[in-house]
Structure 1
Amino acid sequence: MSRYAIGDIQGCFVELMSVVESMAFSPQSDQIFLVGDLVNRGPSSLATLRWASQTEGVSIVLGNHDLHLLAMFAGLAQPKPGDTLQEVIDAPDAEHLLFWLRQQPLLIDLGDVLLVHAGVSPSWPLETAKLAAQEVEMALRGDQWKDFIAVMYGNQPVEWTSDMKAFDRMRYSVNCFTRMRFVTTDGALQLKYKGEREQAPAGIKPWFELANRLLLNRRVVCGHWSALGLMLKDDVWALDTGCVWGGALTAVCLDSGKLYQAAARFEYQALSD
């Protein structure tokens, strides 16, 4: 049995199929983990969702674009420039697909590897991270999920404290798991800057470079940050290589470290978008 992780697909279904074929993936014995942002900006979000939801051996964690799709479907978010989600919302099986999407986790713990979309708060040890993910997952899966979506967005709070109210706590968790790139030197979220780490303003650094971060006993495998590109450090593997921007779709075997890549057929979105 082999375990594979695949970076941000964002509707680049042809490239996804190319990568999966190159793995010689066997649904009966192998596992594929998609690290979020299955949809949006690329041409085939609907095909990607259908494949992920129907293929044996495939698991996902939710990314920010997946949550944006849920918010649009609920009527709680408007399309953004470059969005390509309307085909999903208009599909005859949209309700089934979006119900399936709401059941998916923010975090998967494989024992040796932790899979998330963006990252794990430097303030969280493993058990806190798992509890934070479970709280949001329960809200998304429940009958009142739209009430949570309605208050999910926002850049506050930026720090984890023991006396946070439930919606504040869950908003912080969503931002860590699906939006985070940089934190301040004392661990507070900094969500405005999205560029390359070498050009980052003074006083902030990538979340995984904070010296006193508490999660040190799992390799974190993530995506989300195309400006960072492929990074395979001992404790963090980042897999977003910007397929939708004309880069490539990247996968890695979690057991051997072997890479699989498919170059983007097109620049589906311009980098200036």
Structure 2
Amino acid sequence: MATYAVGDIQGCLSPLLDLLEQIHFSSEDVLWCVGDLVNRGPDNIGTLRFLHSLGPRCKLVLGNHDLHMLACWSGQRTIGRKDNFGDVLGADDADMLCHWLLQQPLIHCDRKLNYAMVHAGIPPQWSLKKALKRAAEVEAVLRSEQRQQLFASMYGNEPARWDKTLAGMDRLRLITNYFTRMRFCSEQGELELESKFGPNKAPEGFAPWFSFENHQARGERLLFGHWAALEGQTQHSDFIGLDTGCVWGSKLTILRLDDGERFCLDCHF
């Protein structure tokens, strides 16, 4: 049995299946997904159905596109011009699949394998232990009737910096932004959410979240996606980027956790 982790799929089911065939993914193997399972790609409903069919052999975390789709499904947001997950929302099994997604975490951690996984990142002021506690706050709301309020309040860039006295939806919004939208931040964890360029084009006063030497999660092996412009390169062995821009016509990347070998497939649409 082997454990593999795949970068952002975003509805690109065909490349995923091709790459799994290439690596001889078997019925004994486990697949981790770093989030953004849907949106922008050609087969969102097929992607969710396939991952759901894996049962406990699929471990995933929610990304910003997944949460956005859930907000649309819940009626708290309208589908945007660039969104193409209507195939999911119009499917007969939409409710089942969305309820399944609601049970998924923002961070997955396996101490036996010595890996953790998040969609965007962990801010420098949080250890993995603290991040898991903060993630649990949002996960509890997603699994409750309060999720409607969360989906209605989830959008926005403020507050931009953690304060333990934050409460209510402001607190949950910031936690969600850290785990699902973050690229650049300050050493104190202040978010800059407008820039989507590569790490060498950081806005003044900000840097890639994983670049700070005093990052409290350093020493943990943390898998993440979300940032295609990194092309999977972080220059930090503790923080492992897997989003290599499949949906944008670049590559889909899978990492075998057992030995660290990477497998890539060129994606052309």
| Superposed pair shares fold, TM > 0.5 | yes
Superposition deviation, residue 78 in structure 1 = 2.1
Question: Given the alignment of the two structures, is residue 95 of structure 1 paired with residue 95 of structure 2, yes or no?
Answer: yes
* Number of the residue aligned with 2:104: 104
Structure 2 Cα separation of the partners of residues 27 and 177 of structure 1: 30
1:67-109 per-position Cα deviation (integer Å, ceiling 9, x unaligned): 0100111122222232111111000110111110111110011
Q: Match of 2:152?
A: 150
* CA distance, structure 2, for counterparts of residue 71 and residue 158 of structure 1: 21
For structure 1, the residue ranges without an aligned partner over 5 or more in a row are: 267-273
Give deviations 1:101-120, integer Å, cap 9, x for gaps.
Answer: 11111001112111000001
- Supply the distance in 2 between the matched residues of 1:136 and 1:37 (Cα, whole angstroms): 17
* Unaligned runs of at least 5 residues, structure 2: none
| Alpha-carbon distance, 1:202 to partner | 2.1
Q: Map 1:174-189 onto structure 2 (within 5 A).
A: 174-189=176-191
Which of 181, 198, 201 is 2:200 aligned to? 198
Shift of 1:189: 0.9
Secondary structure of the structure 2 residue equivalent to 1:138 = helix
Residue of structure 1 equivalent to 2:222:
220
CA contact (8 A) 1:187 1:210 kept: no
Structure 1 residue 54: Cα displacement? 1.4
SS in 2 for 1:156: coil
Q: Which residue of 2 aligns with 1:269?
A: none
Residues 12, 246 of structure 2: 8 Å contact kept? yes
Assess if the C-alpha contact under 8 Å between 1:152 and 1:171 holds in 2: yes
**What secondary structure does 1:83 align onto?**
coil
Aligned residues: 265
Partners of 2:206 and 2:150 in 1: CA distance? 30
Shift of 1:211: 2.3
State the alpha-carbon separation in 2 of the partners of residues 20 and 118 from structure 1.
24
Match of 1:38 in 2: 37
Instruction: Give the percent of matched residue pairs that are identical in Structure 1 and Structure 2.
Output: 43
Partner residue of 1:236?
A: 239
Whole-angstrom CA distance in 2 between matches of 1:18 and 1:37: 19
Whichever residue aligns with residue 76 of structure 1, its letter is: Q
CA contact (8 A) 2:125 2:188 kept: no
**Bigger mean CA offset, 203-212 vs 35-44:** 203-212
With over 3 angstroms needed to count, the CA separation of the structure-2 counterparts of 1:186 and 1:147, relative to structure 1, is closer
Secondary structure, counterpart of 1:19 in structure 2? helix
Task: Write the letter of the residue equivalent to 1:73.
Answer: W
The C-alpha deviation readout for 1:118-141, integer Å capped at 9, x for no partner, is 001111112210011111111111
Question: Match for 1:239: what amino acid?
Answer: L
For 1:130-145, what aligned pairs fall within 5 Å after superposition?
130-145=132-147
Give the structure-2-normalised TM-score: 0.95
Which residue pairs with 2:128 in the alignment? 126
Name 1:270's counterpart in structure 2.
Answer: none
Question: Which piece of structure 1 moves more, 208-217 or 47-56?
Answer: 208-217
TM-score by length of 1: 0.93
Q: Which amino acid aligns with 2:50?
A: W
